[in-house]
Amino acid sequence: MQLRIGNGYDIHRLVPGRPLILGGVRLEHPAGLGLAGHSDADVLVHALMDALLGALSLGDIGTHFPPEDERWRGADSLELLERVMALVAERGWQVLNIDTVVVAERPRLKPHIAAMRAAIASRMGLVPEQVGVKATTNEGLGPTGREEGIACHAVALLHQP
């Protein structure tokens, strides 16, 4: 059995007048902020897609879904994730598990983690036990700590049976 591992990272700015979507779940920020971006700016799913693409040395999401391409304006990142999973499957690879860490001061993510894991798992053809979603604050430090943005780290482990 061949194994491949990939990692991904992304950060998006928190701004007024935008939705806050993480892991395919729409959340409410206590200050009414959301994530800026060309697509729906789901920073969790973006980091995850880069981990999957990285595992197979397929470049990054900027290569596959360039921000200057009008097709991806306001795109549902879960639909982009399905496209990435199709690339993985076409090459004969399967995902063993993925794990993610969202870095955000607010809102509190714990009540929403089960919904995020379920949304991601269903789009990836996985069960929620294969999908790790964790959340941490940055203890008030740096851009995420000052709530200038929300960041996410992700890893993915793939195998070729």
**Binding to Mg ion by residue 40, rule CB under 5 A?**
no
| Host H or E run for residue 59 | none
In the complex, what is the shortest distance from the CB of residue 30 to Mg ion, in angstroms, rounded to a whole number? Answer: 23
Residue 64 identity:
H
Least Å distance, CB 67 to Mg ion, is 9
Residues numbered 71-100 forming contacts with Mg ion, rule: CB under 5 A: none
Residue 10 is a binding residue for Mg ion (CB under 5 A) = yes
Nearer to Mg ion, 46 or 117 (CB): 46
Nearer to Mg ion by C-beta: 46 or 153?
Answer: 46
Q: How far is the CB of 147 from Mg ion (least distance, A)?
A: 18
Instruction: Outline where DSSP puts E strands in the chain.
Output: 2-16, 20-22, 25-27, 33-35, 94-103, 131-136, 149-160
Between β-strands 2-16 and 149-160, what pairing exists: parallel, antiparallel or unpaired? antiparallel
Q: Residues touching Mg ion: how many (CB under 5 A)?
A: 2
Among 29, 46, 112, 117, binds Mg ion (CB under 5 A): 46
Smallest distance from the beta carbon of 76 to Mg ion, in angstroms?
A: 14
> CB–CB of 11/146 below 8 Å?
no
Report the interhelical angle of 113-124 vs 43-55 (nearest 10°).
Answer: 40
> Residue 59, Cβ neighbours under 10 Å: how many?
11
Contacts of 68 (CB under 8 A, 6+ apart): none
Q: How far apart are CA 77 and CA 12, in angstroms?
A: 14
Q: Among 46-54, 73-81, 100-108, 147-155, which window interacts with Mg ion (CB under 5 A)?
A: 46-54
Quick check: 50 binds Mg ion (CB under 5 A)?
Answer: no
* CB-based closest residue to Mg ion: 46
Residues that bind Mg ion (CB under 5 A): 10, 46
